[in-house]
A and B are shown apart, each in its own frame.
Chain A
Amino acid sequence: MAYLKLSTNTVKKSISAHRSIALAIAALLYLTCLTGTLSVFFEEFQRWEQPNIEESTDYTPTQIQTAIQGFQQRVSQMPETLWVVLPTEAVPRMHISGDGQEWFINRDGHLSVPPQEPWTTMLTKLHVQLHLPQNIGLILVGILGVLLFGLIFSGLLSHPNIFKDAFRWRRGRQALTQVDLHNRLSIWALPFYLMISFTGAFIGLIGLFSFIAGAAFYDNDNEALLDDIYGGDPEISIASVNLDIDKAFNTLESMAPEAKPIYLAIQNLGTDKQYFEIAATLPQRLIYSEIYRFHGDGSLINHQQFSDGAVGRQIAYSVYRLHFGHYAGQWVKVIYGLLGLALSVICVSGINIWLAQRKHESALNDLWVAIVWGLPLALAFSALLSFYHWEPLWVFLSTEFIAVIFALLMKQAHKTRWILMACLTVTLLIIVFMREVLNLNESVPSIFHLVNLIVLVVSLILGTMLFLKRKHCRT
């Protein structure tokens, strides 16, 4: 294998930088990685949380028209943009939303119940913006992406033997195991981690960038800058009172037969300026979608050129699917889940190495255990209580707070870890039991049982780990 030739001084400085950055952001980075890993499966969690919804991958323009009429009857004021999310293989459910109001659509086009996915919403919001005000949260998570990139860079320069030791794994001695785990997981999935940090930073910081660059080059007109990147609104030359969705679908079918529509956005409904957009995915493309725009009468205006426009525009619209792992089917999600979990383990093992290298133990050891095992416990516990209409965010925060206090009072990191793991295992088992019992006589999709099965397998793995580590608890 190849060797990195670095001076001792460079290596020392790189280790120092790697350590400083890691210690500063470890907890937040771990939280972001863990919630990010789970968020890859947010569509499955949504279906698991609310399993009793009519599912079908088929839809008709008449169904959409009926749903729009139903929406108009239910709201006092029409939103500027009305969204009709179409069913896909991943989420075979159709819903309509605007101005924060949302309902599922039945097969006959009539509106059903509103989405009730409080835990999944809490989870994704925790990953995207840490439940802070949107702009601040997004920027903070974007900065975490930048710092992760910095950690990867400094990590590479801190380990001149990282290629030389590419296949080494020494088990048994705690510190060495952690070092090897950290380095082996890091090096082989390096391109994935670079991609995740770059796309995460891109998504988080595009707003901040538009603010800084807009002030410098666009006379504070951020909209103009974003229009240059993503394309602006179209000129409406034909005023039409009706919405001919059928004609638009036919036009789309003839011009791009391989395009798969994923949502409709109806702009300025019922006004002279009304038009609508059909977003559609294209095969073998990472762009989130191409957007085809139509007059109200169903005649084509243009498409937004995400698939064939400037390279910059294509890149800007490709980062989302690349970051979420939502392309090319379910297997990509599984691989993203594994690699995301590996990144979370790298965060944990990095701090474990630092803690093991110290000559003493302190409250930091307890605090770190409370974070590492308290966070998944808090996520699991908030999921469990959300089924009984408890607010998941408060349950999450309270559980983590209790875990921290408990760890600080226990002053025995090994024992605390064992107890928190046991609590997590039991909580996961209860979740599976309650979900299956509560929906025993209901007709639920197979994904509901699959998620329960995976949760059960995770709890059994944790149970086995607990059994193997029982000696630690006793001592």
Chain B
Amino acid sequence: MIVTALIMEIIGISLLYQSWRKPNRQPLANAIGWSVIIVSLWPWQQAMGLEYGISFWLMAIPPIAWLFVLNNSETRKREAPSRIRKHIFPDNKRLTHAVIKAVIAGPFLLMACFLCSSFVSLAVQHSTGLVKADQLILNLSLLLLFWPISIYWLTAKPIEWRSTIALLTFTLSGSLWLYG
């Protein structure tokens, strides 16, 4: 079963690779390739159980794909031009902005995300009757999902005072309501 699963993954990635090498897009070959890769989960979980099967299924993909990448390497030799050395001094304005963002991304976003994840997990618990352990783990999992995404949102753009103040107000009032 493990050999079958591996062969299926190799075939799937090989199909993707063959499609990728052609100048025009090959939607059918791509779809078949992805389908074969997805179907290979079945022999993996038959051989090793669902939990190990999923992890092996995902772990087998990168080494196979990297072999195709290695096979496809092209060499374009050219020396990089030498560059001048400069003394760079930190820009105070950018440093201040970075510190402000770090403060917002740290405690404030953590609390804002905790408020949101608590609200969602409690709502799910009330509507579906989750047991306490499930609700707490859902809460933590959502927090670990919301927090990095909101850090991305914050760092992707310059500080906007209006949205920052709205975030701080939401966080502070929510925290006061929860802990006050």
Seen from chain A, the residues whose Cβ lies within 8 Å of a Cβ on chain B are 1-2, 13-14, 16-17, 20-21, 24, 143, 145-147, 149-150, 153-154, 157, 166-176, 184-185, 188-189, 191-192, 195, 198, 201-202, 205-206, 209, 212-213, 215-217, 225, 228-229, 283-286, 309-313, 315-316, 318, 322, 327-328, 332, 335, 338-339, 342, 356, 358-364, 411
Q: How far is the CB of A304 from chain B (nearest CB, A)?
A: 12
Q: Which are the 10 A-B pairs with shortest beta-carbon distances?
A: A284-B49, A312-B137, A150-B148, A312-B134, A312-B133, A17-B156, A149-B148, A13-B156, A189-B62, A310-B133
Q: Is the CB of B52 within 8 A of A188?
A: no
Residue of A nearest to B137 (CB): A312
Q: Is the CB of B83 within 8 A of A312?
A: no
Q: Is the CB of B77 within 8 A of A229?
A: no
Q: Is the CB of A1 within 8 A of B16?
A: yes
Collect the chain B residues with CB atoms within 8 Å of residue A170's CB: 73-76
25 A-B residue pairs with Cβ-Cβ distance under 8 Å, sorted by A, are A20-B98, A146-B148, A147-B151, A167-B72, A169-B69, A169-B74, A170-B74, A171-B73, A171-B76, A172-B75, A172-B78, A185-B66, A188-B62, A188-B66, A191-B58, A209-B139, A216-B118, A309-B133, A310-B132, A311-B133, A312-B137, A328-B55, A335-B63, A338-B63, A361-B83
Q: Is the CB of B137 within 8 A of A315?
A: yes
Q: How far is the CB of B149 from chain A (nearest CB, A)?
A: 6
Considering the chains assembled together, what is the distance between the CA atoms of A387 and B68 in angstroms?
43
Q: Is the CB of B149 within 8 A of A150?
A: yes
Q: Is the CB of B80 within 8 A of A24?
A: no
Q: B102 near A: Cβ within 8 Å?
A: yes
**A-B pairs with CB below 8 Å: how many?**
199
Beyond A175-B80, A310-B134, whether A21 also contacts B86 by CB under 8 A is: no
**Which of B19, B98, B145, B155 contacts A16 (CB under 8 A)?**
B155
Considering the chains assembled together, what is the distance between the CA atoms of A207 and B38 in angstroms?
36
**Which of B76, B98, B138 contacts A312 (CB under 8 A)?**
B138
Mask of B146-162 contacts with A, CB within 8 angstroms, 1/0: 01110110011100000
Beyond A172-B76, A189-B62, whether A167 also contacts B83 by CB under 8 A is: no
Q: Is the CB of B83 within 8 A of A359?
A: yes
Considering the chains assembled together, what is the distance between the CA atoms of A167 and B130 in angstroms?
44
Q: Is the CB of A201 within 8 A of B19?
A: no
Beyond A16-B156, A229-B136, whether A147 also contacts B98 by CB under 8 A is: no
Beyond A216-B118, A362-B88, whether A202 also contacts B140 by CB under 8 A is: yes
Residue of A nearest to B177 (CB): A216
Q: Which of B50-65 contact A (CB under 8 A)?
A: 50-52, 55-56, 58-59, 61-63, 65
Collect the chain A residues with CB atoms within 8 Å of residue B74's CB: 169-171
Q: How far is the CB of B130 from chain A (nearest CB, A)?
A: 8
**Which of A150, A167, A202 contacts B152 (CB under 8 A)?**
A150
Residue of B nearest to A355 (CB): B83
Considering the chains assembled together, what is the distance between the CA atoms of A171 and B78 in angstroms?
10
**Which of A16, A145, A311, A322 contacts B134 (CB under 8 A)?**
A311
Q: Is the CB of B151 within 8 A of A150?
A: yes
Q: Is the CB of B76 within 8 A of A310?
A: no
Beyond A13-B156, A362-B88, whether A166 also contacts B20 by CB under 8 A is: yes
Q: B178 near A: Cβ within 8 Å?
A: yes
Q: Is the CB of A169 within 8 A of B137?
A: no
Residue of A nearest to B150 (CB): A150
Collect the chain A residues with CB atoms within 8 Å of residue B77's CB: 172-173
Most buried by A among B66, B68, B157: B66
**Which of B61, B101, B130, B135 contacts A188 (CB under 8 A)?**
B61
Q: How far is the CB of A364 from chain B (nearest CB, A)?
A: 7
